[in-house]
């Protein structure tokens, strides 16, 4: 059955290390998104991509990088430049339909913690 | 900047009664509004949406009301069931930006007591 798969569910990182979070979707959605959730706050957009080989910064892109080499995959790298990386990371995807609104659909998230 | 606000962090309701979750927004360009439901350790699940050309959208026990002049929307759940206990996020976006600027509220934790 179709869906969005994020892995791993829990991830630990040492100070100064880069770490990559995986997001794969088999919904044939054009757009993919990465959000960060912190306690007591709404989701904040890190990066999004509407088409393969193209992506745009969201509100809090500093310290993060992404790639979109395949339609199905949108990995997020948390670099050592991200000063406060401990958070719950959510990947989402959606259809792009110019004439009608479409909701975003989410994976189950990856919780990143710093050791 | 908090363009979408859910001012009640929590709500407790008795089973069978109505649950009303509220959401306010500040950006008048928003024209698409959604509610998501989230269980612990899972991602948000899309629940219901409404376009700004409507003021009400109903799907089974769930109804979303939109008051554009007040920049306010609400989600009504009738009757509430224990399985509805979750965190509910309100979200809003502008279709002219292809919904890439979706903004989320901080969520309201609903507890439905048996």
**Residue A22 pLDDT > 90, yes or no?**
yes
Residue of B101, B84, B97 whose CA lies nearest to B45: B84
Residue of B nearest to A100 (CA): B95
Residue with tokens 């706050």: A41
**Residue A101 pLDDT > 90, yes or no?**
no
- Confidence bin at A15 (pLDDT 50/70/90): confident
Q: What residues of B are in contact with residue A43 (Cβ under 8 Å)?
A: 44, 89, 104
Would you state the pLDDT for residue A42?
85
Q: How do beta strands B10-14 and A44-51 pair?
A: unpaired
Q: Which of B24, B87, B102, B104 to mutate to test the interface with A (most CBs of A within 10 A)?
A: B102
Higher pLDDT, B86 or B101: B86
**Residue B1 pLDDT > 70, yes or no?**
no
Would you state the pLDDT for residue A74?
98
Interface contact flag, A108 B89, Cβ < 8 Å? no
**Residue B96 pLDDT > 80, yes or no?**
no
Q: Which of B100, B108, B109 to mutate to test the interface with A (most CBs of A within 10 A)?
A: B100
Would you state the pLDDT for residue B26?
96
Would you state the pLDDT for residue B41?
81
Using the Cβ of B36 and the Cβ atoms of chain A, whether some distance falls under 8 Å is answered with yes
Q: How do beta strands B108-113 and B10-14 pair?
A: parallel
Q: How far is A28 from chain B (nearest CA, A)?
A: 17
Angstrom distance (rounded) from CA A106 to CA A88: 13
Using the Cβ of B94 and the Cβ atoms of chain A, whether some distance falls under 8 Å is answered with no
Interface contact flag, B98 A90, Cβ < 8 Å? no
Q: How far is B43 from chain A (nearest CA, A)?
A: 4
SS3 letters for chain A? CCCEEEECCEEEECCCCCEEEEEEECCCCCEEEEEEECCCCCCEEEEEEEECCEEEECCCCCCEEECCCECCECCEEECCCCCCCCEEEEEEEECCCCCCCCCCEECCCEEEEEC
pLDDT in tens, B82-95: 999 999 999 999 87
Segment A4-31 mean pLDDT? 93
What's phi and psi for B81, nearest 5 deg?
Answer: -125, 155
% of residues, chain B, pLDDT over 70: 96
Residue of B nearest to A59 (CA): B101
| A42 → closest Cβ in B34, B93, B107 | B107
Angstrom distance (rounded) from CA A79 to CA B21: 38
Average pLDDT across chain B, whole number: 93
Segment B68-76 mean pLDDT? 97
Would you state the pLDDT for residue A16?
86
**Residue B2 pLDDT > 70, yes or no?**
yes
Residue of A nearest to B105 (CA): A42
**Residue B98 pLDDT > 90, yes or no?**
no
Segment A24-45 mean pLDDT? 92
Interface contact flag, A31 B42, Cβ < 8 Å? no
- Confidence bin at A2 (pLDDT 50/70/90): low
pLDDT in tens, B36-69: 999 988 899 999 999 999 999 999 999 999 999 9
Angstrom distance (rounded) from CA A115 to CA A12: 6
């Amino acid at each position: 059955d179709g869906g969005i798969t994020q892995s791993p569910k829990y991830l630990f990182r040492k100070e100064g290390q880069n770490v990559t979070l995986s997001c794969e979707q088999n919904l044939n959605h054009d757009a993919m998104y990465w959000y960060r959730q912190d306690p007591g706050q709404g989701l904040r957009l890190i990066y999004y991509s509407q088409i393969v080989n193209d992506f745009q910064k969201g509100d809090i892109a500093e310290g993060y990088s992404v790639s979109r080499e395949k339609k199905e995959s949108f990995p997020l790298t948390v670099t050592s430049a991200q000063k406060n990386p401990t958070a719950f990371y959510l990947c989402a995807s959606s259809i792009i339909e110019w004439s009608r609104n479409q909701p975003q659909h989410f994976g189950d998230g990856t919780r990143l913690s710093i050791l | 900047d908090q363009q979408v606000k859910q001012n009640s962090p929590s709500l407790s309701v008795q089973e069978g009664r109505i649950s009303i979750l509220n959401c306010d927004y500040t950006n008048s360009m928003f024209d698409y509004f959604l509610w998501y439901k989230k269980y612990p350790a899972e991602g948000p699940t899309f629940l219901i949406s409404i376009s700004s050309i409507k003021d009400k959208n109903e799907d089974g026990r769930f109804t979303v009301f939109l008051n554009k002049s007040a920049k306010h929307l609400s989600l009504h759940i009738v009757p509430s069931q224990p399985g509805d206990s979750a965190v509910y996020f309100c979200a809003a976006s502008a279709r002219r930006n292809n919904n890439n600027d979706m903004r989320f509220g901080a969520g309201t934790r609903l507890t439905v007591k048996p």
